[in-house]
Structure formats: structure tokens, C-alpha cells
Structure 1
């Protein structure tokens, strides 16, 4: 297991913060993902994905991502409020571009929404990435996910024209790639 350097900047107070995920957080991360997908993403994700949810397998997958990431640049962060995991983000390097990283899921359980957890997670990801020399962050969003698109747009991200279609066993899921450039201000924090 790799140790993480301290965050250049942690936002929040004693009651709200972002920190690297710990193995014991895996069940909470799986819970946040399941709850968010079943509520906020019910109209976006195919029913087959939601109906075949395997909580134990998802928990094991997140535990593996935390304890044995493929590279030291693969990270899982959690947003915490009063010692409860309320959201998470995962980030990984882009294989063919040392100056780019890809944000995987960034999810905040809906009942904890509108409290700044998503923004704190995104800021922590940007800080970690910039500290590793990353100049560009990217993520894939379902084309019909207007809420996430609005969140990323308000944070200075934009769609870059790339699209992909995922086979889900049900209706195909079309995703658009969004990106942002980490400016010198972020890199110098």
C-alpha cells in the first residue's frame, strides 16, 4: 500500500473535510454509490445495472482500489461530515499522457448534497493532480446527466467534443468527455 503525501490544502472544518480513503471506508463508499445511483441516476443508468447491484462485490472492489491501487497515482478520496463518509471521488492517470488524469466517479449521497462536499472533493483532486505535475483533468459524464454537467460547468470544466458509448446489457449509455486545465494558480498551491 502506498502512502499519500499530505494535501497541499484541505478545505473544511472539523465537521467537514476531504481525506484519503481508508480500507474501512469501502462499505460506506459502496453505500454512497448505490444510494446515489438508485436515486439521482435512476433515469440515467440502465435498470439492469441497478437491479443487478452486488453490494459485497462493490465493497470488495472499492477496498481493492484503496489498499492495492494499480499505480501510486490511482487515488480514492472521501468527503466526511461529522465522521460519516458522505461522498467520494476516484482519480487515475491517463495511460498515454503524463500531464493528464481522469476523474472517475465523484459522488455525494443526495441527502448530503448542497453542502459543498462535491466542490471540496473536486478541489482536493485538483490539488493532488497538480502536485503530481498534471495539467489536465478529464471525466466522462452520461450525456443526459444535466445535474453533473451543471456542476462541472460551474467549476470551469467544459465538454471537449469526445463521446463514447458503453454497452450496458440494456440500452447503450452515451457519455461525453469533460475536461479542465489546471492553471498555474492551482499548480502553485
Structure 2
């Protein structure tokens, strides 16, 4: 599965995930006529507008399977409530048939990392009291800090607020970055493992720290278009990771001595998104 930033082309898939997840999760809790009345076209219009008009420090990520189908999403940004937390995970949905594959955890971590990158120090999430996801948030270290009544389809339901006082504690994982092309990534999605040609040629896969990424892009990928950047959680790599300079220089670069398992890929970016000023 690929976790990446949403585009307007994803609005139909996000809308379908939104509606189908509500119907599968809240059946028997939310009134049946309300669930039956949920409209994919209306949700599509909502998400399309949100993507087009998304302000700074707001984000929307999708989970995409190897066939290109959107199977999950998460959004986050500024806290909308009066509770004393500056960030918020606002919505997270994963299709029922794709649950149990760690997608929720991967989406949640991607959102938390983005909140940290955008300067937020704490964050919270609202969830219906009877939603099974409550256990997920407590497992991730969230604590219940409030509750509120929400009227859905004429029925009053209780929402719980879970919060994290120190966002940085959830973003301590070392993140490294690898530049690749569309074809190699599509091949990896089909095989379930990523192997760059350098693994056979040099014995390792090249990577960079965030501060090194622009320099690497300018040195080795000048004017090459349609490149991707895999944002990796170094702690989830199954192959050895070494920081070294094999050409004899003083600057150390992360080298991965083995293939990359998709579970280590936090996000997939376009190179232009991370390095807009590259040559």
C-alpha cells in the first residue's frame, strides 16, 4: 500500500471510502435512514473542494493499493475545538476489507509526522464513544480529555476527545528519504518488496537525510521529471542501515543494505513537492 498526499483526482475514491466506512462502522449505532442517505457524489464534491482550497498547515493523505484504488484516508491540521491542543487529526477511514493490515497505524503516523513538520506541539482527535477505534487511540498513547454530544440523523451520540500533550514523542523515529522513479515503485507494489538496481550493483540502496535531499536531487537528478521520494521510517527497515560515505568524503549518507519492505514506507511524495527549488 502507498500512503501519499491526496490530489483532486482522488476525490471520488475518498468519497467512496468515507461513505462505505460510515455504513460498515456505524450500522446499528447511527440511524439507518441517515446511513442510507449518505451520498457519494455529495461527499466527492466536499472532498474535491477541500483539496482545492486546503490552507497551509492542513493535510489530507490517502492509502492506495497496488491497483490504484483508494482504500483509506486521513486528514489533519489546526484544532477546531476550544480544548487546549493546537493540532487535530480530523478524520481517518479505512475500508472494512482493508482493516487489519496496519493501514490505520501507517496513516496515523503519517498524519502525526506532518503535524510535527507543520509546527504543532500537541494534538487531539474526536471519536464516537462506541467506535472500536477508541482502543486504537489509547494504544497509541492518547488519553481521554473530554466529551461532547453530537446529533447525527436525529439521534444524540456521545463523542470522546483523545489527546496527546507532546506530539514530538510520537515522531522520534528517524526518517530518511530515497529518490526513485514511477516504474520502480509500481514494480515494488506488485512484488511486495522494493529493490533498487544499486542493491545488486553496489550492495546497498542510496538514501538521504532531509537536509541532504535537495543536494542529492540537484547532483544526480537534474531536470529528470516524474520522480518520487519514499519517506522511510529507519526503525522499520529490516535490512542493515549504515551512515557512511563510500567515495571518501566527509558527509555521511544513509545506505540500506537490503531491500525495503513496504511497512517501512511512511509516505510517498513527488520530488517536486519536497524539492520545489531543485535544478
* TM bucket normalised to smaller: 0.7 to 0.9
Name the residue aligned to 2:65.
81
Whole-angstrom CA distance in 2 between matches of 1:56 and 1:88 = 17
Offset of residue 47 of structure 1? 2.4
TM-score (norm 2): 0.57
Name the residue aligned to 1:4.
none
Offset of residue 26 of structure 1? 0.6
Of structures 1 and 2, the larger Rg is shown by 2
C-alpha distance 116-19 of structure 1, shift in aligned 2 (>3 A) = same
Name the residue aligned to 2:128.
142
Alignment of 1:1-189 (within 5 A): 16-69=1-54, 71-82=55-66, 83-94=68-79, 100-145=86-131, 147-160=132-145, 162-180=146-164, 181-184=166-169, 186=171, 189=174
TM-score (norm 1): 0.82
CA contact 2:59–2:77 (8 Å) conserved in 1: yes
Whole-angstrom CA distance in 2 between matches of 1:26 and 1:179 = 29
C-alpha distance 49-188 of structure 1, shift in aligned 2 (>3 A) = same
Offset of residue 75 of structure 1? 1.5
Q: How far does the alpha carbon of each residue in 1:44-85 deviate from its partner, in whole angstroms, 9 at most, with x for none?
A: 32324212212211100011111112x212211101221221
Offset of residue 183 of structure 1? 2.8
Unaligned runs of 5+ in 2: 175-279
Equivalent residue of 2:42, what SS?
helix
How well do the aligned residues superpose, as a CA RMSD in angstroms? 2.0
CA contact 1:48–1:170 (8 Å) conserved in 2: no
Which protein has greater RCO, CA pairs closer than 8 Å, 6+ apart?
Answer: 1
Q: How far does the alpha carbon of each residue in 1:112-157 deviate from its partner, in whole angstroms, 9 at most, with x for none?
A: 1111111110000010001112121211111111x10111111111
Offset of residue 188 of structure 1? 7.8
Segment drifting more, 122-131 vs 168-177: 168-177
Equivalent residue of 1:178, what SS?
strand
Q: Which runs of 4+ in 1 moved over 6 A?
A: 96-99
Unaligned runs of 5+ in 1: 1-15
Aligned length: 171
